[in-house]
Amino acid sequence: MGLIPSFTVQMDIYDVLYLSYIIPEERLRPAVPDNIRLAAPLQGKAIISLVIFRCKNVTASLFPFVHFNYDQVNLRTYVIDPSTGKNAVFFLKSGITSRFISVITNLLQIPWQSVSLSLDTRYDNEGGFAHYAVEGAWDGAFNIVLNANRDPAVNPKPFNALDEAIRFLTGPAVGFYATSRGLIRFEVEHSEISPAMGVISSVHLPILPLSGFVTNDELWKPDSVLVAPDGHFTIYMPPARLCL
């Protein structure tokens, strides 16, 4: 990344929503470079996730006394990192509520849009997730409302157990973006994410049907809804440009 020195970004994340859909691989393939293999537990299928969260105490090691807070939304899928053979994340689209940070990340070739988000989250007396509502504007107005899933017999599809879903959906430590100059790769370290299952109460999310990834009928039937109260991330910067 030219003359940019190596640095890290630290952040605490809160109220993390993972809304995931199993879709036919052919719907997603045109959006992911041919030299990146998709990762999914089912043959011929892919998984995409809408991930929404609050970022607090965001600081870069280059400027340790400067702190930022913002909210973020990502649309991502799961791939195989060609460098390690391990599962990774490919970001299809991302947005944050800070225009300033959006400008900075675009200078680093990380294509984050400026978006608006408003989150309303509630937890029970034991800290367990109870209610989650978000609305905003991201290529059109959207809103999602969900509540805790109290049925212990239900597992997130297509996984056999909740911990298996958590490892696949939240575990990757490498991310990719496609830019006008090619593919970039960055690494992260993060605390263990401990989400609980949710169930959709209402959803209006036009970005997914308009993208061609999910139909209007499928939008109401996500295969996995997970909500985590918090976590901590370290991101290693600047990202590396890949020549595959």
CATH of residue 206: 2.40.400.10
Average pLDDT of 79-88?
Answer: 96
Query: Residue 107 has what pLDDT?
Result: 78
Dihedral sign from CA coordinates of 190, 193, 199, 202? negative
| φ, ψ for residue 166, nearest 5 deg | -60, -45
173 lies in some domain: yes
Number of domains in the chain: 1
| φ, ψ for residue 180, nearest 5 deg | -65, -20
244 lies in some domain: no
Model confidence, pTM: 0.94
Q: Range of 214's domain?
A: 7-238
Instruction: Specify the 3-state DSSP secondary structure of 190.
Output: strand
DSSP collapsed to 3 states, 141-187: EEEEEEEECCCCCCCCCCCCCHHHHHHHHHCCCEEEEEECCEEEEEE
Query: Residue 2 has what pLDDT?
Result: 56
Residue 33 bridge partners (DSSP) = none
Give 179-235 pLDDT, tens digit per residue: 877 899 999 999 999 999 999 999 999 999 999 999 999 999 999 999 999 999 999
88 lies in some domain: yes
pLDDT band (50, 70, 90) for residue 5: confident
243 lies in some domain: no
Give pairs for 186-189: CB < 8 Å, separation 24+: 186/110, 186/235, 186/236, 186/237, 186/238, 186/239, 186/240, 187/235, 187/236, 188/233, 188/234, 188/235, 188/236, 189/233, 189/234
- In this structure, how many other beta carbons lie within 10 angstroms of the beta carbon of residue 189? 12
Query: Residue 182 has what pLDDT?
Result: 85
1 lies in some domain: no
161 lies in some domain: yes
